Amino acid sequence: MGICINTNTTALNCIRFMSRNTNNLRRSIERLSSGLRINKAADDASGMHIADSLRSQRMGYGQAIKNANDAISIAQIADGALQESVAIIDTIKTKCIQASSDSQTSKNRKIIQKDISALLDEFDMIAETTSFNGQKLLSGNFINKSFQVGANSGETLKISINSAESNKIGHVNTQYITPEGEGILLLDFDDGSGNQIKIESLLAYDNDVDHGIGKIADKINRRYEAMQIKAFAEVSLTHFISEGKTEEDFSINGIKIGSLTIEKNDSHGALAKAINDRTSEHGVRAISNINGSLTFESVDDRAISIKNGGDVFQKKELSTVGRLRIISRNDGRILNLNDPPLIQTTSEPLIYVERDGPINIDPELSLGDPDDKHMSQAVVKIAENYVEGEDELVFKNIGNITGSWDKGSGRLTFTGVDTVANYEAALRSVCFDNKNKSVDFQSSLNRKIAFTVTDNNREIVNKDLENDGKLTSPTAYRNIEIMERYASYENAYKLPEDYASILDVYQTSNNYYLRGELTNGDSYVAKFDSSWKQIWPASSNTPSSPSITGTVTNWFFFNDDLYAIGISAGKTFIEKHNDSDGTQAWRHEYTGNITGVKFNGTDMYLVGDDGANSFAAQIDTTTTNQWLSNITGNITDLIISGTSVHVIGDVGADSFVETLNENSGATNYRSNITGTMNDYEIIGSTLYAVGRDGTDAFIERFDSGASTWRQAPDSDTVGGNSVANRISTSGGNVYVRGSFNGTVDFDPGIDDPSTDDGDPFTTSDIENLNELTAITSPDYFTWVFKNDGDYVDAYYSAYNNSPTGTTLRTINAISDNISLPTLVTDPDHYRYRLSDFSGSHTFTPGIDDVVDETIDSNGANDIYLSKQTNDGEYEWINHIGGTGIDSISLITLDRDSFTDLSGDEDGSLFILGSFNDTVDFDPSNGVAELTNTDGNGCFFVAQYSQPYLEYLSDPVPISSNKGGKSYVWYTVSEKELSKLNDLNVSTFPDAQLSMEIADQSLIELDRIRSNIGSVHNQLESTISNLSNSMVNIARSESTIRDVDFVSESTILSKIQIYMQTGTFALSQANSYAKNALSLIEAI
């Protein structure tokens, strides 16, 4: 190759390589001195990005570990505080157990309560003061607190610590189940998880512990684990004790205590002692109270029945099966025997225009059932104002449902098991129709339609108070307003121009009459035929005749003539219009208001008042002759008798009867009566009046206005009062019916008590037998006098003139709420007595007039019905009996009830009762033997029609029966929530409840601690994971960022050699020019 001097390429290459080695040497020395492989972005751009990301993640994990350690500190602080709270609750529970003993007095329990209150204060102090970094941990505010436990957003952990204050824990619900009496108590419980648990037990007044309410409490408590429900039986009743004697048959739970003489409030303790001495037999303990009452408490939760307590118990029979106190810690609830169907009708009334066709009653009716998809029966009934032969319910059969219309009762019955939806459609299809399409609409009274439904699975246990408390199905109603056809004609018929309005329409068989106002303020009447063609006034353009001066307030028709009453210029007028042309026949005006109108033949009688006094007037409707008589006082009635007109009224608190001459209106005489007259009887010129004066009933006779005699009982006894309500005369006697309270002496003192012959029903009087004391409030009496005022007799429902024998009693009431006497009097004043008896009794006369007939009840209660004459003699006895127990109540009360109840005029007696087994209802030939086989008692209705009893109806079950069992209705109270701060140990039941609250508080505190412990463990796991991740991330970052000293030292040594050899090479390259110079020098 040639030698060049200007360009030394070899030297330049040496310089280039030496420069690269210098850079590599610098980089290697930098890495070795810093320990990092990447000191700037140029070293490794992507590696630096990755390493920086890893470093950020590692640093985030480090802070997350610190946060998690803070959360652990919070959990440890809260858990430590709760541990102390648990220790306090343990102490509180111990004290509750201490108080749950009747060995503790009320004073001791107060001391225990004071200790518990102090412990609760300390308990709340812990909850209020436990904190971390200024934040309260146990007050209920430390909820949903977030802690960042990761390197990225969203990597958080939430901590909630519920309140540990005494008013926020220990939640226990209390409810009371109260059965109404004997029967099978069936309870359905929901355990809070949707599972139903059924528990049932028999309750009975038979002195049997197994038939007490404690038995069902035991059954509930055995299911505690499943339901978290505890039951406590409470059987007690409290009653005030009066001074007097108990009856010989006084008993507790059938255990005879006997006759006792007792001080008021049992101040000497004789009653309590007598009862407590027999506690081992009847299971009842008597406890005296500060207020003077006695509490009767069952020691073993059996039922309590107290009978024949006499005056000491105010003649009341007391009983209770007790109640259950249910304590639950979850959402368990007591269900009814069956949830009834839900039915709802439209609240607005339906309008039916007379003579229209069928109209749908309620197309919007809704029907549902919360626990049954099917129904078995529905009834639609015209419940009010049904008109047989006219009204009809039209319906459709849907699915399996068929309808049956009973026109006799106005009842449509759907039967057949089908879906709720189909029953809803069937009920919606029902239409109302009135088949009378004639002009004379027979009944314009509004109707009331009742919809009653029954579901498919069992009897409904809704309590229908309108049905005497019997079990029935739910019912909804819709009202139908009957709109008379004329109501739509005001707009359809063009009125004359002077007609301002239509105020009233009157309809006869062939005509319509309109009444209204004219534009000038006067009134008019108009007559139309059945097709609404105007008859009078003759012109339809003007109201020429008849117009009526003044404002008509009332109008009526008599003998086909129109009468109008109204007001004109401050006076009251009455005028007559001829029906032929509407012209006015006559008009009379009076000062004051007309308050009443009566007709007698062609005569019209008016009564009214002018604000101060009253008037009576007579008008001959054919001649317009009249008379007017001013009357002092307020007129309440007017009676026309023979040639006299009797005006009845009152003046203040007193009454009067003023007799006027029928022809002239002049006063013949006036009978002034002291007191309020309730009833009267007028015979010729004789007036009998009965009523009340102050607190006393009275009877007074007037002859031609003069008082002949007056009698009143003595009601001076404290609490005694009486009132006479009815009077009648028969067979020379005067009979007064009324009511009274307390003790009343009905003997006016006319008869000599020394003539006592031992018979309380003869005219000779026994003073003390006529001091009658009411058993019920009020009680009823019948008071008998001769026409001359001589006292004959007084008797009432509770007076017991019984046949000889023992254990005979009189039934006084159908229920505790309705007191009915067992002695009634018919319109002829015969008395009928209904009683029951057990054992053998001699009746005189007996059946079929047998003298001294002995009748045996065959070991069970039988019934006898007797008839007595006015003098108290038995006329006959009828016996109703069999092998079972007959519970009898008498419905009829007084003379007004006979026709209403029997539906005829013969004064029939109706008997309502129940029976078991076989009972002979016919006292003569046994054709009316009825048998009840289900063992639960059947109702019967018997009608007395002398001389035998007629059986009227098939036996009806007394109550809802399933499989021969009679279920008892019960009520359930609303839940009462108790918490730890409500804890109270002042009584034994309260201490028992407090134990439950303490247990529940421990459960809730442990639940809070458990949650805290779970969070603590979670945090520790989180820290461990974060630490491990942080190490691995640091290792990954080091791999990328840190220098490998071995490798880098090797590189450095290599570079240093390169640098030395490069220097040598450069020196050799520079020697080329020197060699060229040598050649030149050689030339």
pLDDT single digits (tens) 465-516: 333 333 346 788 888 887 765 433 333 445 566 666 777 777 776 777 777 7
Average pLDDT over residues 160-186: 86
pLDDT higher than 80, residue 990: yes
pLDDT at res. 832 = 59
| Structure confidence at residue 525 (pLDDT) | 81
For residue 726, is pLDDT > 70?
yes
Predicted confidence band of residue 965 (pLDDT cuts 50, 70, 90): very low
DSSP class per residue in 568-629:
ETTEEEEEEE-TTT--EEEEEEESSEEEEEEEETTEEEEEEE-SSSEEEEEEETTT--EEEE
pLDDT confidence tier of residue 188, bands split at 50, 70 and 90: confident
CA distance 184 to 959: 11
Q: What is the pLDDT of residues 683-716, one digit of tens each?
A: 888 889 999 888 888 989 999 889 898 888 775 5
Handedness of CA 189, 191, 193, 198 (dihedral sign): negative
Model pLDDT, residue 220: 87
pLDDT digits (tens, 9 = 90+) for 419-445: 888 999 999 999 999 887 664 555 678
Decide: 948 and 908 in contact? Cβ < 8 Å. Answer: no
**pLDDT tens for residues 617-636?**
888 877 777 888 888 888 88
Cβ neighbours of residue 804 under 8 Å, at least 6 residues apart? 841, 842
Residue 14 scores a pLDDT above 80: yes
Output 389 or 805, whichever has higher pLDDT: 389
Tokens coding 20? 């690269």
Residue range 861-880: average pLDDT? 60
Q: Where are the domains of the chain?
A: 9-35+1043-1082, 48-170+979-1039, 172-335, 342-485, 674-790, 800-962
The three-point CA angle 1067-1069-1074 to 5° equals 90
* pTM score of the predicted model: 0.42
Is the pLDDT assigned to residue 285 strictly greater than 90? yes
Q: Does residue 405 carry a pLDDT above 90?
A: yes
Cβ–Cβ contacts within 10 Å for residue 959, how many?
Answer: 18
Residue 352: pLDDT over 90 = no
For CA atoms 395, 399, 401, 404, the dihedral sign is: positive
- The total of other beta-carbon atoms located within 10 Å of residue 46's CB is 9
State the DSSP H helix or E strand holding residue 781, giving kind and residue range, or none if neither. Answer: strand 779-786
What number of H helices and E strands is found in the chain? 11, 76
Contacts of 178 (CB under 8 A, 6+ apart): 323, 324, 970, 971, 973
pLDDT score of 589 more than 50: yes
pLDDT band at 458 (very low <50, low <70, confident <90, very high): very low
Coarse DSSP helix, strand, coil percentages of the chain, rounded to the nearest 5 percent: 25, 40, 35
Q: What are phi and psi of 46, to 5 degrees?
A: -70, -40
Is residue 827 reached through a cis peptide bond, with omega within 30 degrees of 0 on the bond before it? no
- Specify the pLDDT at position 302: 94
How is domain 172-335 classified at the architecture level of CATH? 2-Layer Sandwich (3.30)
pLDDT at 812 over 90: no
Q: Is the pLDDT of residue 284 over 90?
A: yes
Contact 301, 307 (CB under 8 A): no
Look at residue 760 and tell me whether its pLDDT is greater than 50. Answer: no
Give the residue, 484 or 282, on which the prediction is more confident: 282
User: Which superfamily does 48-170+979-1039 belong to?
Assistant: f41 fragment of flagellin, N-terminal domain (1.20.1330.10)
pLDDT band at 272 (very low <50, low <70, confident <90, very high): very high
CATH 2.60.40 fits 342-485, yes or no: yes
Q: Strand, helix or coil at 752?
A: coil
Question: pLDDT tens, 657-669?
Answer: 999 888 888 888 9
Span 875-890, average pLDDT: 55
Cβ–Cβ under 8 Å, residues 297 and 235: yes
